[in-house]
Amino acid sequence: MADSDLDTLRRLADDGDEEAADRLAVLAAERGDVNELKHLIDAGNEAAADQLAELAAGRGDVDTLNYLIDAGNELAADRLAEAAAAKGDVETLTRLTDEGSEVASTLLSRVISETK
């Protein structure tokens, strides 16, 4: 996509066009553009938060997942819980469970039962 097309999408998104913002989020994720995704998240775009959660999980970027969790993104919590379970990280799973993650709770039970 040409830079001028991205600029047009950005203007539309800034003017409140959710469809343009969602499309911009997909394109930003495809480019790995974390800053663009964070800008969209700051503007309230949930699709951008989910795109960033997937990108961060794929990169093993725990800091970004925690940033998203702090902003209330459930997908980020789920992805961090999955990574923690794969490592047997009971501490992270417990924290996520305490913060209300059902996925973390299920995975915590599984990890604990597998270590017995």
CA–CA gap between residue 75 and residue 65 (Å, rounded): 9
* Predicted pLDDT of residue 99: 94
CA–CA gap between residue 36 and residue 23 (Å, rounded): 12
Q: What is the pTM of this model?
A: 0.85
Which residues, 6+ apart, have CB-to-CB distance to 23 below 8 Å? 9
13 CB-side CA count, 13 A: 28
DSSP line for 85-115: HHHT-HHHHHHHHHTT-HHHHHHHHHHHHHT
Helix, strand, coil percentages for the chain (3-state, nearest 5): 80, 0, 20
Domain boundaries, the chain: 1-59, 74-116
pLDDT in tens, the chain (116 residues): 677 888 999 999 989 999 999 999 999 999 999 999 999 999 999 999 999 999 999 999 999 999 999 989 999 999 999 999 999 999 999 999 999 999 999 999 999 999 87
Could you tell me the two tokens for 45? 């775009």
Residue keyed to tokens 């996520």: 96
